[in-house]
Homo-oligomer: A and B are copies of this chain.
């Protein structure tokens, strides 16, 4: 029973509750959990999270989190150097998830161009316009709504067939926005879109941002060890170590290439919380840089994993995942006929349809599409009932439901991929 009692339950019952919670949950650490980029179960990462919860403190002031505040600083500097940002130009903060990181990017971009917004609000600003690709994460639209900019002022720029933003389309969207008397100020580029894992053309987008004086943010869903210096022209970057780096949930950072901006944008210097007459350097009281007050300590598990693996360990872990993606793609090439695809993987996402016997040989058209649309949900439903493997599916534009397999768990082996394809065939032919 999930009900919450007035009287305490016995310790035996508490242990049963714990066992049941794990039993009826989803084993995201299983090598055949291919549903999301957050997967796997890194033992050092889990140990880090256990120590964090035992320390039970807040990223708020140096006085309550001296070690974790220093670790955050150290991690942010390292991450900036990987981005190719020169020393001491940048800043950043860990925050609860990639969507909030993306929200921060819009927030600091707005403040960068219109610092008066902090005290006076959007009422004194022109109507702003934002740009992101139609295949980017929905968090840009969501954040624009939260921040009071209105989702309809987010222009969804067209992508090419591989899911990359088309630079000429970005430029024409900017022109359209201006014609509507909107003021463009922010472009989100994506490195690793949700469905295809596509990379927007960052350099071409950076050129356009430079030409129109726009803030360029890059939402990175993948890791960065294989992409050093690709992000050097970005004004801000969302980096999610809880995805391909396998850090336990949650661990996400926003990095901003303008030192002091986060602080200026968000601080209110509440004297009863951030006393300036303390016996240490109060610039380490980082709580006021945040839109939160206290923050959960998300840095220790990442720091500890980095110590245990080294940058090279993260790199080879990611390579393992990319090899798995390549293997799946190769298998799909071999077995065409009942498995179909029209997308070449760029990173760890592999997308494909399963064509059940009843649809094979049927001519393309609305009737076949309507039936094919039901195949992936039905197979996934059967997988979940059986508990054998887990994989995502979705429609995209005019394409009906197809499977999307992502690899981020280094425990996944080629035999798991073979199992996946066999299982799809088994369950899809019923």
Where the two chains meet, the residues of A that have a C-beta atom closer than 8 Å to any C-beta of B are: 2-9, 11, 13-14, 17-18, 20-22, 24-26, 28-29, 35-36, 38, 40-41, 44, 46-47, 49-51, 53-58, 63-68, 70-71, 74-75, 78, 96-100, 103, 107, 110, 117-125, 127-128, 137-139, 141-153, 194-195, 248-250, 266, 268, 270-273, 275, 277-279, 291-297, 300, 303-304, 306-313, 374, 377, 380-381, 384-385, 390, 393-396, 401
Contact = CB atoms under 8 A, between A and B. Distances in A.
Give the residue among A13, A277, A310, A313 with the most B Cβ atoms within 10 A.
A277
Given A127-B123, A295-B96, A66 B24 contact: yes
Q: How many copies does the complex hold?
A: 2
A320 to B, nearest CB: 15
Given A153-B121, A300-B21, A307-B4, A272 B396 contact: yes
A105 B20 CA distance: 34
B46 A64 contact: no
Contact of A25 (B68, B123, B146): B68
B148 A119 contact: no
A118 B268 contact: no
18 contacts: A6-B311, A8-B309, A18-B47, A21-B300, A22-B54, A25-B68, A28-B55, A28-B57, A28-B64, A46-B54, A58-B249, A97-B295, A98-B294, A118-B150, A138-B270, A145-B268, A273-B394, A275-B377
Contacts of A75: 4
Nearest to A102: B293
A273 B7 contact: no
Give the residue among A55, A117, A128, A310 with the most B Cβ atoms within 10 A.
A55
A8 B42 CA distance: 15
A307 B41 contact: no
A153 B124 CA distance: 12
Give the residue among A74, A110, A120, A146 with the most B Cβ atoms within 10 A.
A146
A137 to B, nearest CB: 7
Give the residue among A25, A99, A119, A401 with the most B Cβ atoms within 10 A.
A25
Given A103-B291, A395-B271, A147 B148 contact: yes
Contacts of A309: 8
Given A7-B312, A21-B67, A97 B377 contact: no
A430 to B, nearest CB: 14
Contacts of A22: 51, 54-55
A311 B53 contact: no
Contact of A122 (B123, B152, B385): B123
A145 B267 CA distance: 10
A58 B38 contact: yes
7 A-B pairs closest in CB distance: A121-B150, A148-B148, A279-B381, A122-B122, A49-B53, A122-B148, A138-B270
Contact of A296 (B36, B96, B385): B96
Given A4-B75, A66-B24, A119 B145 contact: yes
Nearest to A394: B272
B121 A294 contact: no
A394 B271 contact: yes
Contacts of A65: 25-26
A119 B150 contact: yes
Given A2-B71, A151-B118, A142 B14 contact: no
Contacts of A8: 307-310, 312-313
Given A46-B56, A122-B123, A148-B149, 20 more contacts: A2-B71, A2-B74, A3-B74, A4-B74, A4-B307, A8-B310, A13-B307, A18-B47, A21-B67, A25-B57, A35-B63, A49-B49, A49-B53, A96-B296, A97-B292, A121-B122, A122-B149, A122-B150, A124-B150, A279-B384
Give the residue among A51, A117, A123 with the most B Cβ atoms within 10 A.
A123
A142 B313 CA distance: 40
Contact of A292 (B74, B100, B144, B270): B100
